[in-house]
Amino acid sequence: MTMKTTLKLNLGPQHPSTHGVLRLILELTGEQITSCEPDVGYLHRGMEKMAEKMSYIQYLPTVDRIDYLAGFFYSELYIRTIEKALNIEIPEKAKKIRALLLELNRISSHLLWIGAFLMDLGAISPFFYAFREREMILRYFEKLTGQRMMYNYFVFGGVRHDIDFLEDIEEILNILPEKIKDYERIITDNPIFLTRTKNKGVLTQKTAINYAITGVNLRASGVNYDIRKSDYLYEEIDFNPVIMEDGDCWARYKARILEIKESLKIVKEVLEYLKKSEKLKQNLIKPIGIILPEGEYYSEIEAPRGLASCYIVSDGKENPYRLKWRTGSYYSVNLLRELLVGNYLNDAIAIAGSLDIILPEVDK
């Protein structure tokens, strides 16, 4: 007679690789996971409820905090929704500036992910290497906006002030490709890394679509879905979405590396435009006392962790009646239920890490 007992394991919230805010209730047979139940909400700040009590301009500085690694995206998303509601056209140069900053931010976010993912796999050095390069970008953001993470730089109708320090971006463009080659040398062909990521946590197209996965995770499974292609900021910019076929951890890693390269291309292209362009002229609207006409407004953006969207219901007052965020990570956390089952504990960490879950984005 064999006796079967399972071990219930609380992975988190106090666990080094869940960054203090994610709790996974795992059921283990030996070291094999039989069920996984994500428990989120440890970082809940009531971002949506807060919006209902604040005027539109009051809420603007807080949206950067939804995803502190990609602050520009949420700020852009929120502003975009309101601009859409008020029919504001932003000047061409402001569009380009926004696209440039978004792509730089995407690079910094992906760089952090590479470091954190390799840290989850037990390699320490890539973490510091990635942070070194991320630092360059953050320094530039600090120079430009005065803040390293919570930029609050985009405003209704344009940007806060004209872009500057373009030579810093050129330096980033010179240094980063070399460094990415270095990462690939130390990570991509490493046999240990390959055995730990190849065919681990395979996300099929069907599962990905069923779980509403978007962003790099979806594209690494072979679905060509990049909202940037229809985004008005990227209208005249030429780029190719990164599509990988396998859908395993390695594909997700490789897709992010390739996406950084693609983003660098975009940055380069926009930089050429910005260098030639004249001084920014924009008619900013008076932000205090904005009232959205009664109705529902929706817009979306391709954030580093998947499709993000903002949905505002206005009843014609100073603050929104209801505001809803859709964030990519939230769906990735849900996916863990399916993806972790049948895997061993040490692969589970790698798989969870490969999905690029950022908890402030999940909990909002």
The residue ranges that bind another protein (CB under 8 A) are: 7, 9, 15-17, 31, 118-125, 127-129, 132, 186, 190, 192-193, 195-196, 344-347, 349, 353
Whether 43 and 64 have beta carbons less than 8 Å apart is answered as: no
Do the beta carbons of residue 168 and residue 140 sit within 8 Å?
A: yes
Residue with smaller CB distance to another protein, 26 or 267: 26
**Cβ nearer to another protein, comparing 138 with 223:** 138
Give bridge partners of residue 9 from the DSSP assignment: 26
C-beta atoms surrounding 46 within 10 Å: 11
Q: Toward another protein, which CB reaches closer, 158 or 201?
A: 201
Q: Compute the least distance from the CB of residue 33 to another protein, in Å.
A: 12
Helix 92-120, helix 345-354: angle, nearest 10: 170
Minimum CB separation of residue 25 from another protein in Å reads: 12
How near is the Cβ of 148 to another protein at its closest, in Å?
A: 19
Neighbours of 127 (CB within 10 A): 17
Taking the complex as a whole, the smallest distance from the CB of residue 207 to another protein amounts, in Å, to 23
Whether residue 43 contacts residue 329, with contact meaning beta carbons closer than 8 Å, is answered with no
Report in angstroms how near the CB of residue 345 gets to another protein at its nearest.
6
Residue 14 Cβ vs another protein, minimum distance, rounded to whole Å: 8
Which tokens go with 216?
Answer: 């790099």
The edge-to-edge listing of strands for the beta sheet with 322-326 is: 295-303, 306-314, 322-326
Residue pair 175/136 in contact by the 8 Å Cβ criterion: yes
d(C-alpha 282, C-alpha 225), whole Å: 33
In the complex, what is the shortest distance from the CB of residue 30 to another protein, in angstroms, rounded to a whole number? Answer: 9
Query: In a 10 Å sphere around its CB, with 0-12 CB exposed, 13-18 middle and 19+ buried, how is residue 139 labelled?
Result: middle
Nearest approach, Cβ of residue 99 and another protein (Å): 31
Q: In angstroms, what is the minimal distance from the CB of 355 to another protein? A: 15
Is the CB of 118 or the CB of 169 nearer to another protein? 118
The smaller minimum CB distance to another protein, of residues 187 and 208, is found at 187
Q: How many Å is the Cα radius of gyration of the chain?
A: 21
Cα(285)–Cα(51) distance, integer angstroms: 20
CB of 330 to another protein, least distance (A): 23
Q: Which of 182, 193, 170, 350 is nearest to 275 (CA)?
A: 170
Nearer Cβ to another protein (166/175): 175
Total residues found in the chain within this entry: 364
Cβ-based nearer residue to another protein, 187 or 292: 187
Are residues 291 and 318 in contact, defined by beta-carbon separation less than 8 angstroms? yes
DSSP state, 43? T
What is the identity of the amino acid at 294? Answer: E
Q: Are strands 7-11 and 23-29 parallel, antiparallel or unpaired?
A: antiparallel
Q: Bin 201: left if φ > 0, else alpha if -120 < ψ < 50, else beta.
A: left
